Every structure is written in C-alpha cells, then in structure tokens.
Chain A
Amino acid sequence: MEERRYRSASGAPLALRCRQHSASCRELAVRCPRLQLRSLSAVTSAVWLAAYGLFVLCQNSMVLSAAIFLTLIGLIIYLHFVKIDQESLLVIGSLGIQVTSSYASGKESTTFIEMSQVKDVVINEAIHMQKVIYYLCILLQDPQDPQGVSEVVPLFQSSQPRLDCLIEVYKSCHEILDQRKAASQSDGVK
C-alpha cells in the first residue's frame, strides 16, 4: 500500500493510495483536501456581514436570525451532498469494477459495473467549460455488440486529478484488465 501526492486540475493537492488486495484485485483511492477553515470563515463572515447590512437598512432583526439559520443549513447541505472526501476505484479481475464516492458527512455512494459490460478503461480528453481536461472513463459495451461503445462513465469527477495521476491509475487498472484478456484468449485457443 503506498500513497503518492499529486495535484488536481485546479491546483489543489490530492493523494493517491493504491492497495493490492490480491493478484487480481486492486483498490485505488484519490483523497481530496478537506474543507479549509479559512474558506469556511470567509463565506460565513461574508454572509453575516451582508445580513447585518440588510438589518441596518430595514431594522428587522429577523434578517439576522435568518442569516444564521441559512448558514447552518447551507453548511450541512454542502457537507452532505457536495463536498466529496474520497473517490475510490476497486477493480476485481473476474467480477467487475466498483466506484465509490464518500462525502464529507460520511455518506457513501457506490456504483458497480460488471466485467462483461466493461469494454475498456481509457484516458479521454474533452472540452469542459472553456478548458480541455483529461479524465479517466470506463467504456461500456452492449453484450450483443462487442465492437461498439454504448456508454461512457467518467471517473474522479470531483477531484479531477491531472494527467500524471491518471496515468498511474490507468496502468494499475490495465495490469488487471489485461489479465482477463489473456485468460479469454487462452480459453478461446482451447
């Protein structure tokens, strides 16, 4: 198990952890930086100052209590639905790929993709909001049509690691995915 430091597309520090559970099972986790105290206090003081300005204008003290309430509710919603703590990829050679996102409030959302549906894991580049970014994605295939790509599942959407981190993840995934190709070829020869 080893942990290496990389950067995200916006410059935030990330940590990539690679664990090998067995010869055909590997887990890769990208951990995002935690919520910074300075950004939290900046947003809170901005909202409260704006509310105090409104209070001075309209002399209604409900504005102040509404601002406090809004800040608390907004923080809870942000931690539970928006702020992602860690995104991980679990590749099991004969079974499938599991993608997990764990949020800052502790919530985890998981997606599992069967190995028969997985065509390949590739690094694709696409235009995203006036930038061209590299991102890792799983290409899914229709079982009836093994040549075409039916769907594209992008990975690591919130952490958005840069190309060097993506290449590490790509190589790790392909060590396991190529084993199943070698296995299927030897089966075909038999």
Chain B
Amino acid sequence: MRSLPRPLSVTAHARRRPGRLAISRREGAVSMVENSPAPLPERAIYGFALFLGSWFGFMLYLIWAYVPETWLFSLGLTYWPQKYWAVALPAYLLVAVGIGYVLLFGINMMSTAPLNSTHTITDNYAKKQQQKKFQEEAIPALRDIPISEVNRMFFLPEKGICNSR
C-alpha cells in the first residue's frame, strides 16, 4: 500500500523495497519508481562507505605529508612516494581547475559555426526532410521552413500578411 520510500534503518533486513511494492500494485508503471532519485538503503550504504573511505584517504594523506620520514621508516613502512608530491599534486589540481574554465570557454567558441558556414542555415535533417501532403482540417506536419521564405515573411510585407515589426 505504501508508495513512498521508507527512511533508512540499518537494522532492517527483512523489509521489502518500495520498488517491488509499486510493481505488484500497478502493472503499468514498471520502470518509474526504480529510476527515482529518492533515498534507498543501498544508496545510503554506498554513501557511508564512500564517506569512511574518503576520511581514511585524507588521514593517510595527512600522515604521509606531515610525519617525518625517519618515524615512518622506524615503523617499517619504507615504500612511499616523495613528499614533493604532497604539495605538487594539490597545486596541479588547482591550476587544472583554473585552466578548465578557460578551456571550456575556448572549446565552446571554437565549436561555434563561423559566419560563412552553411550550418547556420540548414543541416542534414532539414535537407532530407520529406514534404507531406496537405490534408484539410488536419494540423500540418512540422517541417523546417527555408530561410528565404522566412525572410520574405519578415522583411517584405507587401503581401499584406501580418509582419512582426
């Protein structure tokens, strides 16, 4: 009967998922509930595992960067990367983020069609479109109007049809 997902409880193991309830209730909507972004127990578990993993990684990074090498060697852990990278990697990341802004802007400008290309006028779909027959009292099919006709309608108003200016 319930269609809303339940709140998370780690002790629940014999509980049916809301997705299956929805499927058994309504035959029509099968894929709707399974694709929703609502919180599910599996998602919460993945999130918690990621949280623990990222904390562990951060603590490891701090230990590697700050603890002197002699202490680490005395513990028996000798195979570490050079401490140079503890400063170099964050610096590289920050510069990469800054360059990413400029790069994205530049890629957008480069992929804009220049003023003398035919892509500003038409494209493959418009060239290959088929003319459908005009039927009385039916909505006309959607089609791409050539730019010459559009210009005539806008800028040469001698035929008396409504113009936008």
Contacts and interface: CB of A to CB of B under 8 A. Distances in A.
Contacts, number: 50
- Could you say which interface size class chain B belongs to? 10 to 19
Contacts of A137: 115-116
A120 B112 contact: no
A174 B156 contact: yes
Contacts of B118: 149-152
A79 to B, nearest CB: 25
B79 interface: no
B120 A124 contact: yes
A167 B151 CA distance: 10
Nearest to A147: B127
Interface in A109-147: 119-120, 122-124, 126-129, 135, 137, 139
Interface in B87-146: 109, 112-113, 115-118, 120-122, 127
Contacts of A170: 151, 155-156
A167 B155 CA distance: 7
A122 B122 CA distance: 13
Given A120-B148, A122-B148, A123-B155, A128 B121 contact: no
Given A154-B116, A171-B155, A171-B156, A149 B109 contact: no
Contacts of A150: 118
A153 B121 CA distance: 12
Nearest to A150: B118
Tell me the interface secondary structure of chain A in the complex. strand
Given A152-B120, A171-B156, A174-B156, A128 B115 contact: yes
Given A124-B147, A149-B122, A154 B115 contact: yes
B117 A152 contact: yes
Nearest to A174: B156
Contacts of A153: 116
User: Which one of B115, B117, B151, B156 has the highest number of Cβ atoms from chain A below 10 Å of its Cβ?
Assistant: B115
Contacts of B156: 170-171, 174
B5 to A, nearest CB: 44
A152 B155 contact: no
B115 A126 contact: yes
A13 interface: no
Given A120-B148, A152-B121, A174-B156, A135 B115 contact: yes
A53 interface: no
A122 B156 CA distance: 11
A126 B155 contact: no
A148 interface: yes
Interface in A9-61: none
B151 A122 contact: yes
Interface of A: 119-120, 122-124, 126-129, 135, 137, 139, 148-154, 157, 167, 170-171, 174
Given A151-B118, A152-B115, A167-B155, 8 more contacts: A122-B151, A126-B115, A129-B109, A139-B148, A149-B121, A150-B118, A152-B121, A157-B115
The 5 closest A-B pairs by CB, nearest first: A126-B120, A120-B148, A154-B115, A122-B151, A152-B116
